[in-house]
Amino acid sequence: MARAALPVDGTRFSKIVEIRDLLLTKPNPMRLESGQPDFDTPDHIKQAAIEALLAGKTGYAPSSGVAEFKQAVVEKMSGHNGLATDTDHVIAVQGGMHGLFVTVSAVAAPGERVLLANPNWGATKNVVIATGAVPVFVDMEYDETEGFTLDPKALAKAIEAHQPVAFILNNPHNPTGAVIPDDTLAEIVRVCAERGVHLIGDEAYEDIYYTSAKPKLAATLHQQLKLHSPVTSVFTFSKSYSMTGWRLGYVVTNDDTTITRLKKLVLYSANGINTFIQFAGAVALTGPQDCTATFREGYRRRRDLLVEAVSAAKAFSCAEPKGAFYLHAKVENGISGDQMAALLVEKHELGTVPGGFFNAHGEDGFIRWAYCCSEDMVRRAAEIIATL
């Protein structure tokens, strides 16, 4: 009997994995293809997990999250993000990808449209497809000095044209390293609220920014503007605390229907999130935060090395990234992003991801470097890039 096609059949495995497999056949590869931070998880967080294990925190967790964890999230949202919420509007999830999956599943019915900025982290589009919703796009603008920006007027037009139920906004942004200034973000928040579009903030890089002040969350601006539309924010410990392998995150929403659906979705997909890991997560959020500043400064140094190299190179140009740990470079020597990525792997053992992976319109003449690998590796890469 023929098997019916499922929404998930419309997704693709990540191009990043393809590139990584090729790169790992090389003797001395430079791993600038991957968003895996080189920093280890801080010891006090590891210690908290060990203590929770030894204290017997090994049973089922409530499916919406351990009380201590949810309380820590509420305190973090208030102190770190200036957002008032309560434990009834917070849920533990298994990292950012799971958070996005359950959030999109809670917000969009199969066949409904979900708007994304283009380019975007390719996985987001695939998450939308896997849930049965339909991704539609609003193009960011590109300018050599400003880099990639999102115009609120273009967003309003895209909403009118596509009639999406939700807009997923990742800020600071993967792959472009763009950070939306607070005043523009406030306009974006308004555009969504006035049209009843559920704003989903993908806050994976909230702590990795090189602007003078921490960029505000869309949800915080929404609350300050006293708007009344649904807003949901998805957080992960992966980047802020270098905890990619722990698989922990949380979702905060102002919408009662969404939190009820999220509770059911987490219950029937994961039956709750690892208990002792949540205790460690609570310590990460409420304990000393100097690790996030140390990571940020480490990434800033790596960014500066790469930006300097790209400025010296003839084959590339870029605007200075303002956040996350990605540099999206324009290929200036007449070959495509795909060809450049292949050449860099083959000839220089240097990992990148071609822009076509992130761009809904396909090959776009860009390549993305992730500069979260070791400073030595970034330095070696920068020396090569400067000569190209």
- Which residues here bind ligand PLP, judged by CB under 6 A? 35, 95-97, 121, 170, 174, 202, 204, 236, 238, 244, 249
Q: CB of 36: closest distance to ligand PLP in angstroms?
A: 9
CB closer to ligand PLP out of 64 and 233: 233
Alpha carbons 102 and 124: distance in angstroms, whole number: 12
CA 245 to chain centre: 15
CB closer to ligand PLP out of 174 and 292: 174
Alpha carbons 86 and 71: distance in angstroms, whole number: 8
CB neighbourhood size of 370 (10 A): 24
CB closer to ligand PLP out of 11 and 244: 244
DSSP 258: H
Q: CB of 107: closest distance to ligand PLP in angstroms?
A: 16
Alpha carbons 334 and 74: distance in angstroms, whole number: 51
Closest to 216 in 3D by CA, of 174, 177, 254, 180:
180
Structure tokens of 214? Answer: 């921490």
Q: CB of 245: closest distance to ligand PLP in angstroms?
A: 9
CB closer to ligand PLP out of 122 and 315: 122
**Helices 375-386, 290-312: inter-axial angle, 10-degree rounding:** 10
Q: CB of 242: closest distance to ligand PLP in angstroms?
A: 11
Q: CB of 23: closest distance to ligand PLP in angstroms?
A: 17
Q: CB of 236: closest distance to ligand PLP in angstroms?
A: 3
In the complex, residue closest to ligand PLP by CB: 96
CA 161 to chain centre: 26
Closest to 65 in 3D by CA, of 104, 103, 94:
94
CB closer to ligand PLP out of 123 and 310: 123
CB closer to ligand PLP out of 369 and 380: 369
Place of tokens 């559920």: 198
Coil vs helix vs strand at 315:
coil
